[in-house]
A and B are shown apart, each in its own frame.
Chain A
Amino acid sequence: MCVVLCLTLTGCWDRVEINDLAIVDLIGVDRDPESGELTVYYQVFNPLAGSTSSGSPGQQSPVFTYEFKGKTISDIRGYINTLMSRRLFLNHYRGVIVSRRMAEQSLHELLIDIETNPATRTSVPIFVADDPVSDIMNTFAVLERIPGEALELQVRSATHLSLLFTREFRIKDLSERMLEGTAIAVPMVHLAQGNPITKSSDRSSMIQANYGNDQLKDGAVIKNFRMVGKLSNRKMVWLDLLSGSKSLHSMTMKVDGEDVQFTMRQVRNKIQVDYRNGKPVVTIRLDLQVSTGLSLNLNPTTYEEMLEREESLRRALTGKLYAFWHEIQDKEWDLLSFKTLIKTQLPKAAPTILADEHYLKNVELVLHVDTNYVRTGNLQKKY
Chain B
Amino acid sequence: MRSSEERHPWMKFAVRGNNQIIGPGEDAFMLKERQKQKEWDDFFTRVQDALGCSQDLVFREVMVSGVVPIQCMYLESLVETRMVDLYILRSYMENQFTEVEHKRTDGDAFIIDLPFYTSPREQLVQKTVQGLLEGRCMLADSNANLIRLMVVAAPKFRPIEEAKSEPTIRGPHEGLTENIEVNIGLIRKRIRTQQFRMEKLTLGDKTKTRIVLMYMDGITPEMLVQEARSKLQSIKIDSVLETAYLEEYLQDNTWSPFPTMRFTERPDVVAAELLQGKVAIAVDGTPDILIAPMTFFEFFNSPEDYYQRADIASLLRLLRLLSFVIAVFVPSIFVAITSFHQELIPAELLIALSTQREGVPFPTLLEVLIMEVLFEIIREAGIRMPRAIGQAVSILGAIVLGQAAVDAGLVSAAVVIVVAITGIANFVVPVYSFGIAQRLIRFTFVMLAGFMGLFGILCGVLFLVAHLTSLRSFSIPYFAPVTPAFFSDWKDTIFRFPRPQLNKTIPSYFRNLFRMKK
Q: Residues of A with Cβ closer than 8 Å to B?
A: 7-11, 14-19, 21, 23, 25, 45, 47-51, 89, 91-92, 94, 119, 146, 149
* B56 within 8 A of partner (CB): no
Closest to B459 in A: A7
Q: Residues of B with Cβ closer than 8 Å to A?
A: 338-340, 342-343, 347-348, 350-358, 360, 363-365, 450-453, 456
Are A8 and B343 closer than 8 Å at their CB atoms?
no
Are B365 and A11 closer than 8 Å at their CB atoms?
yes
Top 6 nearest A-B pairs by Cβ distance? A91-B343, A92-B347, A47-B354, A51-B355, A11-B451, A47-B358
Query: Can you offer 20 A-B residue contacts whose CB atoms are under 8 A?
Result: A11-B451, A11-B452, A14-B453, A15-B339, A16-B339, A17-B364, A18-B338, A18-B342, A18-B350, A18-B364, A19-B358, A45-B351, A45-B354, A47-B357, A51-B351, A51-B356, A91-B342, A92-B342, A92-B347, A119-B343
User: Which chain A residues border B357 with CB–CB below 8 Å?
Assistant: 17-19, 47
* Cα separation A11 to B360 with both chains bound (whole Å): 19
Closest to A92 in B: B347
* Cα separation A280 to B500 with both chains bound (whole Å): 66
Closest to A146 in B: B351
User: Which chain A residues border B363 with CB–CB below 8 Å?
Assistant: 15, 17
User: Which chain B residues border A92 with CB–CB below 8 Å?
Assistant: 342-343, 347, 350
User: Which chain B residues border A19 with CB–CB below 8 Å?
Assistant: 354, 357-358, 360
Contacts A10-B452, A91-B343 aside, 5 further interface pairs with beta carbons under 8 A come to A7-B452, A10-B451, A15-B339, A15-B363, A47-B351
* Cα separation A45 to B349 with both chains bound (whole Å): 12
* Cα separation A186 to B138 with both chains bound (whole Å): 103
User: Which chain B residues border A47 with CB–CB below 8 Å?
Assistant: 351, 354-355, 357-358
Closest to A19 in B: B357
Are A89 and B451 closer than 8 Å at their CB atoms?
no
Q: Taking each of B343, B357, B453, which has the highest tally of chain A beta carbons within 10 Å of its own beta carbon?
A: B343
Q: How far is the CB of A52 from chain B (nearest CB, A)?
A: 9
* Cα separation A328 to B358 with both chains bound (whole Å): 52
Closest to A119 in B: B343
* Cα separation A9 to B456 with both chains bound (whole Å): 13
* Cα separation A17 to B456 with both chains bound (whole Å): 17
Closest to A6 in B: B451
* Cα separation A23 to B351 with both chains bound (whole Å): 8
* Cα separation A119 to B343 with both chains bound (whole Å): 8
Closest to B367 in A: A17
Are B339 and A23 closer than 8 Å at their CB atoms?
no
* Cα separation A371 to B340 with both chains bound (whole Å): 55
Are A8 and B451 closer than 8 Å at their CB atoms?
yes
* Cα separation A19 to B363 with both chains bound (whole Å): 10
Are B452 and A18 closer than 8 Å at their CB atoms?
no
Are A21 and B354 closer than 8 Å at their CB atoms?
yes
* Cα separation A89 to B357 with both chains bound (whole Å): 16
